[in-house]
Chain A
Amino acid sequence: MDDSSNDARRDVIARTARDADAQGVVTEFLNFIDALPTGSTGALLFGTPDNPVATVLIEDDRICWAQVPGRTRRLNEFLFKHTGAALDRAALRTLFDEMRASAQPFGQTLVERGIVNADTLRTALLEHVAESIHAIAELAPPTYTWMPHRSRGYKPQFTFNTGEVLAAFGSFALAARASPIRRVLANLASDDACGLGFSRPMDVSTPLPVAWHGRVPYTASRIGRLGQWALGLVDVSAVFDDTEQRIVMAHDGQKTMLVWRQNAEVFFVLCPHDGVGAQRVLSRRIRRPSEELPTGRFRVPPV
């Protein structure tokens, strides 16, 4: 992408989301981010570019921050949730106002000063982004404009790929379903495996990732294809056994993927080639197939 401001203006792209449901809107603008040129940095402005109602900041293709009116101090709340009484609320608010006034990244300063650890900040930031994009989805149909710029300042460890954000959005929007799915993945998958749990809300054809295990190394568009592939695989395998006891294991010569369905959820676990991780999932799943998961039809709820 050209860095000069005149040429950058030519890269401004305006879109109006075609989807009406929250999942569709979020998926659409995350796919839009995935389709930007490699190394893109800028802001996705929702509403009119001159008077945006919400902003998503991107740095090197990764989401750094999502800003929605009325939710400015929500990051503090998420930090309090994860640290309990260990933080001085008044001091935190003062520091937040200072950082805001000087346009410095608030979270990174907290880590640099030893107020919170990096993992806690990362978790809180991801929750904040997820909640914010859930609110953005309710602006339906949101019009958004891509405005490239050159300013940088976020550390990559505190930024997120679009796949992580999509899964965090699903986890936030369907929190009651996400918790037991996360437990299933944690019980079955080994530490070096990557696991995703998908739910399929009513009237939506694409499964939504709502829980994950390990790293999520995929973009949102890849996760969408992965979810549809996993769903297709469990559907096809129903010709052998239409109960939920079946599990499909696919191997490509380098790694093994396991897919199964339980209630409205589809699980995907990718294991490195050693076979031990896959064997662990297989044996544990067969031995303990009746983990409690929510039943019934559901939708992504509004804000």
Chain B
Amino acid sequence: MPSVVSAGFVDIASGRLVAQHPVGRDKTLETAASASSELLARVGITMPDTHLTPSAVGPATPDPGLETVVVSEQFVHVFRRVAPTSNMALVIVCKPDVNLGMVLARSRVLLSQSEV
């Protein structure tokens, strides 16, 4: 997709990249991978506590830390667990002008069809 700089799969527990595109050393992607554990795990700890009334948001049984997006001046980082309980995540680094909705939609579709 236009504006996507790099992407990879990361082992959340260790922060280690297990596959990436483009292939080769990418410091931005490595930094993102190392932070994925904190960004996804922290959400998992807190989400069950943050339920609204059922009429507002549906049943209070959220999936732990499914997706986190960090929007900053230089990049947009997308972190998404391969599956709700998986220890593997897709990390995507994009330029700030990216169509975020498109990236999120395509990554969700891709992961729903993947066998990672």
Q: In whole angstroms, how far apart are the Cα atoms of A236 and B79 in the complex?
A: 14
Q: Which residues of A contact B63 (CB under 8 A)?
A: 252-254
Q: In the bound complex, how far is the Cα of B58 from the Cα of A251, in angstroms? A: 14
Secondary structure type dominating chain A contacts: mixed
Map CB proximity to B onto A272-288 as digits: 1 under 8 Å, 0 otherwise: 11010001001000100
Contact between chains at A194 and B52 (CB < 8 Å): yes
B interface majority secondary structure? mixed
Question: Within the complex, which residue of A229, A272, A279 is in contact with B45, where a contact is CB–CB below 8 Å?
Answer: A229
Inter-subunit contact B75/A241 (CB<8 Å): yes
Q: In the complex, how many residue pairs between chain A and chain B have their CB atoms under 8 Å apart?
A: 113
Does B43 lie at the interface of the complex (its beta carbon under 8 Å from any beta carbon of A)?
Answer: yes
| B77:A252 contact, CB within 8 angstroms | no
Q: Is A233 touching B56 in the complex (CB atoms < 8 A)?
A: no
Q: State the Cβ distance, A222 to closest chain B Cβ, in Å.
A: 5
Q: List the B side residues contacting A270 at CB < 8 Å.
A: 50, 52
Counting contact residues on chain B (CB < 8 A from A), the size range is 35 or more
B80 to chain A, nearest CB (A): 9
Q: Does A248 contact B (CB under 8 A)?
A: yes
Q: Are B71 and A249 in contact (CB under 8 A)?
A: yes
* B73 in contact with A236 (CB, 8 Å): no
In the complex, which range does the number of interface residues on chain A fall in?
A: 35 or more
Given A248-B68, A250-B67, A255-B57, does the pair A236, B52 have CB atoms closer than 8 Å? no
In the bound complex, do residue B62 and residue A253 qualify as a contact, i.e. CB atoms below 8 Å apart?
A: yes
Those of B7-54 within 8 Å (CB) of chain A: 31-32, 34-35, 38-39, 42-43, 45-47, 49-53
Selected from B32, B47, B50, B101, the residue in CB contact (under 8 A) with A240 is B32
Are B70 and A237 touching (Cβ within 8 A)? yes
Asked whether A38 is an interface residue with its Cβ less than 8 Å from the other chain, the reply is: no
Contact A250 B65 (CB under 8 A): yes
List chain B residues, Cβ under 8 A from A232: 38, 42
| Chain A residues, Cβ within 8 Å of B64 | 252
> Residue on A with the closest CB to B76?
A240
